[in-house]
Amino acid sequence: MRREELTEKILDIKRANGWTWKHITQEIGGVSPILIVGALLGQMKLVKPLAKKAAGLFGLSETEERMLNEVPYRGTPMPPTDPLLYRFYELVMVNGPAWKALIEEEFGDGIMSAIDLETEIERQPHAKGDRVRLMISGKFLPYKYYGNEQGIPESGLRED
């Protein structure tokens, strides 16, 4: 079985049982719902205790349980063709240069980690149509200045 086939099996079971992602993530628990859904969709891995819970919930075999614990091949072709995913791409392409300038001004020369990242999704009622609030908190990682000499900073942290 390939990982994509396991994802389809999980989605079939979800549909057949009428489960919501909220129900599934509450049953599995232990980490962010975004990580759990990502793992069930094949983009993340579940640690062994959570893979065991997921396998029990979905009635998966031991081999399928182990697949949930494997490091996946992450990502999708760019640019994405799904309209919702494409809007995220568009957000970065349009706002990215401003975000980059503001982050570098505040923190220095570096990146925001996508590995050490916390995200939350929240529905905000609004008179003109509900809004999606997406909160992203990523660790700032300064570039390391290899071969720096005395008096030259080791990293790209903001110099005050």
**Three-state DSSP string of 52-72:** HHHHHHHCCCHHHHHHHCCCC
For 4, the token pair is 């994509």
Find out whether 99 and 150 touch, Cβ atoms under 8 Å: no
Could you say which of 66, 70, 74, 113 is catalytic?
113
* 90 catalytically annotated: yes
Question: Tokens 């980490």 belong to which residue?
Answer: 31
Give the position of tokens 């640690």.
47
Residue from 66, 74, 87, 133 carrying the catalytic annotation: 87
Of 90, 118, 120, 154, catalytic = 90
> Any idea which residues carry the catalytic annotation?
87, 90, 113
